[in-house]
Amino acid sequence: MTDLIQMGKRALEAKYLLQKLTEEEKNKALELAADRLIAEQERILQENAKDITAGEKAGMHPGLLDRLRLTSQRIHSMAEGLRQIAALPDPVGEVLESFERPNGLKIQKRRVPLGVIGIIYESRPNVTADAFGLCFKTGNAVILKGGSDAICSNLEITRVLRDALLEAGVTPDGIQIIGDTDRAVTQAFMKLNAYVDVLIPRGGAGLIRTVVENSTIPVIETGTGNCHIYVDESADLDMATEIILNAKTQRIGVCNACESLVIHEKVKDAFLPVLAKALREKNVEMRGDEQVCSVLSDCIPATEEDYGREYLDYIVSMKTVGSVEEAIAHINRYNTKHSDAIITENPAHAETFLNEVDAACVYVNASTRFTDGFEFGFGAEIGISTQKLHARGPMGLKELTSYKYTVEGKGQVRK
């Protein structure tokens, strides 16, 4: 069985070495890692083929097999991802605040790495390189625990990345991976708070719940998204249709896709038939309350449970309300604090919605699909946080850092 204590100790040593690296040293290592991934793609593909064969034997769903499969092109994308991270500015060392106290103490708040980051993730092997790149650029050591389906691929990618670090003159323990697929090891990993500063789960609702319930390490919850779009009485209805269609159907399996619609009852007769026509063309199943069903004969009656569902499918729930306040109350009750939007031409309603909806990202007249580190201009993304501690919404490089206070005196003592 994996010796997690030894891994923890190595990560701890690595973190003190990584925090001393200059931006240039880190970028050079990232470029080298990108080169190595391409140079060694044959070996990576061979290992990936073992995972694919095992997946096929186990009767894995074709969609999941596709996520698992690497190609030369996908390995080039992984390498390109590392180069893009190298090109981003290094946030570490930034002086966030600087002030002097009346007693002459000079205090600075300086941005520092988090230290050791643990990441538990599911199938896609490209996350291995991606997560390493983001953690390494911000001076963090990372311990990865990937899904058992991708174990051969993940181990090989990690081997390549460790060799690249060694070649760059950096400790290879900047990245370590747990090669053991035993659940007991994952459980023990979640209790490794003597060595790991932060644990980030990336995956479905089940994985995230398991981590939140079992980890003694501080967790950044990257969440599920039951994203709402509320169509206000004053909405531009053409815009509403276009935004809903985009948010619901442009990509269905993602956390920022729309799952739930809230419709002001005054626009239901004018709006629902037009919307339904567009949704039917995309084969979206509609589940609505009584008022919605009274307008749309093919609408399935929604249950209480529907309002809280993240379908990740061609299904949408629909609820009518009598006011923006009622819409906000409904959304705050059922949302997952991810992304919710109002479509309105009424600035007062827009501002009320922005202020009172409790979500990481709140939109006026735009698709919820924009909740994304790249779309926000962060240049990278480790996930979307749906908790309120530390980071909320898309997390880029800055969200992988902490800070420390430095205090410089001339012999001051406390009276």
Contact predicate 232/290, CB 8 Å: no
Q: Which of 262, 359, 380, 397 binds a copy of itself (CB under 8 A)?
A: 359
Contact predicate 122/204, CB 8 Å: yes
Counting contacts by CB under 8 A, is residue 386 touching a copy of itself?
no
Size of the site for a copy of itself (CB under 8 A): 68
Letters for 89-108 (x = contact with a copy of itself by CB under 8 A, - = none) are ----------x-x---x-x-
Tell me the window of 51-59, 148-156, 279-287, 388-396 that interacts with a copy of itself (CB under 8 A).
388-396
Quote the CA–CA distance of 283 and 254 in Å, as a whole number. 18
Quote the CA–CA distance of 231 and 224 in Å, as a whole number. 22
Tokens of 356: 């009172």
Q: What is the DSSP letter of 324?
A: H
Quote the CA–CA distance of 131 and 309 in Å, as a whole number. 29
> What residue type is 24 in one-letter code?
E
Quote the CA–CA distance of 7 and 177 in Å, as a whole number. 9
User: Cβ closer to a copy of itself: 2 or 401?
Assistant: 401
Counting contacts by CB under 8 A, is residue 247 touching a copy of itself?
yes
Q: Where are the beta strands (DSSP E) in 7-105?
A: 95-100
Given the structure tokens 């410089």, which residue do they identify?
Answer: 408
Q: Which of 243, 263, 284, 292 binds a copy of itself (CB under 8 A)?
A: 243
* Residues 6+ positions from 203 with CB-CB distance below 8 Å: 120, 121, 122, 147
Counting contacts by CB under 8 A, is residue 377 touching a copy of itself?
yes
Tokens of 110: 């300086």
Quote the CA–CA distance of 335 and 319 in Å, as a whole number. 13
Tell me the window of 51-59, 125-133, 287-295, 387-395 that interacts with a copy of itself (CB under 8 A).
387-395
Tell me the window of 37-45, 148-156, 175-183, 386-394 that interacts with a copy of itself (CB under 8 A).
386-394
User: Cβ closer to a copy of itself: 75 or 211?
Assistant: 211
Beta-bridge partner residues of 230: 262, 342
User: Cβ closer to a copy of itself: 154 or 401?
Assistant: 401
Counting contacts by CB under 8 A, is residue 356 touching a copy of itself?
yes
Chain residues 287-316 in contact with a copy of itself, contact rule CB under 8 A: none
Counting contacts by CB under 8 A, is residue 218 touching a copy of itself?
yes
User: Cβ closer to a copy of itself: 213 or 298?
Assistant: 213
Q: Which of 163, 233, 370, 379 binds a copy of itself (CB under 8 A)?
A: 370
Cβ 356 to a copy of itself shortest distance, Å: 7
Counting contacts by CB under 8 A, is residue 355 touching a copy of itself?
yes
Cβ 407 to a copy of itself shortest distance, Å: 5
- For 86, 297, 364, the CA distances from 318, given in Å and listed in that order, are 44, 14, 19
Tokens of 260: 């739930």
Q: Which of 369, 380, 383, 386 binds a copy of itself (CB under 8 A)?
A: 369
CA 111 to chain centre: 22
* Residues 6+ positions from 354 with CB-CB distance below 8 Å: 362, 364
Cβ 152 to a copy of itself shortest distance, Å: 33
Q: Which of 185, 188, 239, 252 binds a copy of itself (CB under 8 A)?
A: 239
Counting contacts by CB under 8 A, is residue 414 touching a copy of itself?
yes
Tell me the window of 25-33, 35-43, 180-188, 360-368 that interacts with a copy of itself (CB under 8 A).
360-368
Please enumerate, as own/partner, the contacts of 200-203 that have beta carbons within 8 Å and a separation of 24 or more: 200/117, 200/118, 200/119, 200/120, 200/382, 200/383, 201/119, 201/120, 201/121, 202/119, 202/120, 202/121, 202/122, 202/127, 202/131, 202/382, 202/383, 203/120, 203/121, 203/122, 203/147
Q: Which of 123, 138, 246, 260 binds a copy of itself (CB under 8 A)?
A: 246
Counting contacts by CB under 8 A, is residue 138 touching a copy of itself?
no
Quote the CA–CA distance of 53 and 325 in Å, as a whole number. 54
Q: Which of 197, 232, 289, 306 binds a copy of itself (CB under 8 A)?
A: 197
Given the structure tokens 């063309």, which residue do they identify?
Answer: 281
Residues binding a copy of itself (CB under 8 A): 16, 19-20, 99, 101, 105, 107, 114-115, 193, 197-198, 212-213, 216, 218-221, 236, 239, 242-243, 245-247, 250, 332, 350, 354-356, 358-367, 369-371, 375-377, 387-390, 392-394, 402-414
